[in-house]
Copies of this chain bind each other. A is one copy, B any other.
Amino acid sequence: MGQLKEFEFIEWIRQRATADARVVTGVGDDTAVLAATTGPLLLTTDMLVDGVHFDLSRVEARDVGWKALACSISDVAAMGGRSTAAVASTALPQGTDEGAAQELVLGLLECAEAYGVCLVGGDVTGTAGPLVVNVALLGELAAERPVLRSGARVGDALLVTGSLGGSLLSRHVRVQPRAEEGIALARDYGVTAMIDISDGLARDLYHILDESGVGARLESAAVPLSDDAVSMAERSGRSPLEHALADGEDFELLFTLAESDAVRLLSDQPFGVPVTRIGTITGTGAVLVLADGTEQELARAGWEHAI
């Protein structure tokens, strides 16, 4: 693989971007042109940096490309939205070979295809520092209204998809955003608030509570622990529950909905991944109910980027 040339690389990407009725003009002009849509638009962006969000000495460039887009798809899902079109930028370390740069793009395209997203443009530059990948993603609403963090109401049930904790062991790279789940929760189950768990259960729950001006009782015994949380606990000296509360990058959906809708959802279990009730929204305070019935204030643990 030779030295990478900017314009040749863009042409290479252009040849691989899939044609789609939603795209009037894709890669290769000053901007992409997308077909008109009806309804509100969702827009989000995520920046991933080698050494912070992934470790290039341990993961493949293709996985990094996948993850860069998957993180944003997860955000759109958490609004009850469907991801449609993305632009991606990358700063490639000096001397990055053509093959690695292409692998990065192939990972992006692979994720785009898996989730029905069109990659419509981007930017490529060099850097004296670590690899940086940025994705900006457009989406449209699947339900009438977006599901905000601020919609939780006292008495709502608190639920989560999948299982939590220890994502660093495996799941944090080939992130599987809950795209169809987010849409169905918004459209069919009237969820009142939703967030994707990127900073850790405790911190992301606080995001909902702070924005909604409510509290919660979180039943620790109900929190679905991933196998990875259990494995990590064996080495870390912390409990699997602590990992589930504080590890980030689960990319599961944390959401609230009316008691009756929760009962219906739990009975339906409509997804390939389980949904679990882990608590209840209250008027004020965030209480962690331990397995022995004792209660403590939920610590605002979780992932905050040190800058």
- Please report A residues at the B interface, Cβ cutoff 8 Å: 3-7, 9, 24-25, 28-49, 51-53, 75-76, 78-79, 81, 85, 87-92, 94, 96, 101, 120-130, 132, 134, 136-139, 146, 148-150, 194-196, 211, 304-307
Contact A79 B33 (CB under 8 A): yes
Report chain B residues within 8 Å CB of A6. Answer: 304-305, 307
Contact A148 B25 (CB under 8 A): yes
Contact A136 B139 (CB under 8 A): no
Give A32's nearest chain B residue, CB to CB.
B43
Given A40-B33, A40-B36, A52-B127, check contact A47 B91 (CB 8 Å): yes
Contact of A45 among B33, B34, B134, B196 (CB under 8 A): B134
Contact A127 B130 (CB under 8 A): yes
Contact A5 B304 (CB under 8 A): yes
Return A56 CB to nearest CB of chain B, in Å.
Answer: 12
Contact A139 B31 (CB under 8 A): yes
Report chain B residues within 8 Å CB of A37. Answer: 36-37, 41
Give A127's nearest chain B residue, CB to CB.
B49
Contact of A146 among B24, B134, B194 (CB under 8 A): B24
Question: With the chains together, A34 CA to B139 CA distance in Å?
Answer: 10
Return A74 CB to nearest CB of chain B, in Å.
Answer: 8
Report chain B residues within 8 Å CB of A124. Answer: 305, 307
The binding surface of chain A is classed by DSSP as strand
Report chain B residues within 8 Å CB of A101. Answer: 307
Report chain B residues within 8 Å CB of A29. Answer: 79, 146, 148-150, 211
Question: With the chains together, A33 CA to B36 CA distance in Å?
Answer: 16
**Residue from the set A37, A38, A195 with the largest chain B CB neighbour count within 10 Å:** A37
Question: With the chains together, A75 CA to B120 CA distance in Å?
Answer: 14
Contact B132 A127 (CB under 8 A): yes
Contact A32 B44 (CB under 8 A): yes
Contact A305 B75 (CB under 8 A): no
Contact of A136 among B9, B90, B136 (CB under 8 A): B136
Question: With the chains together, A38 CA to B41 CA distance in Å?
Answer: 11
Return A208 CB to nearest CB of chain B, in Å.
Answer: 10
Contact A134 B41 (CB under 8 A): no
Question: With the chains together, A81 CA to B120 CA distance in Å?
Answer: 17
Question: With the chains together, A139 CA to B41 CA distance in Å?
Answer: 12
Give A134's nearest chain B residue, CB to CB.
B134
Report chain B residues within 8 Å CB of A41. Answer: 33-34, 36-37, 41, 138
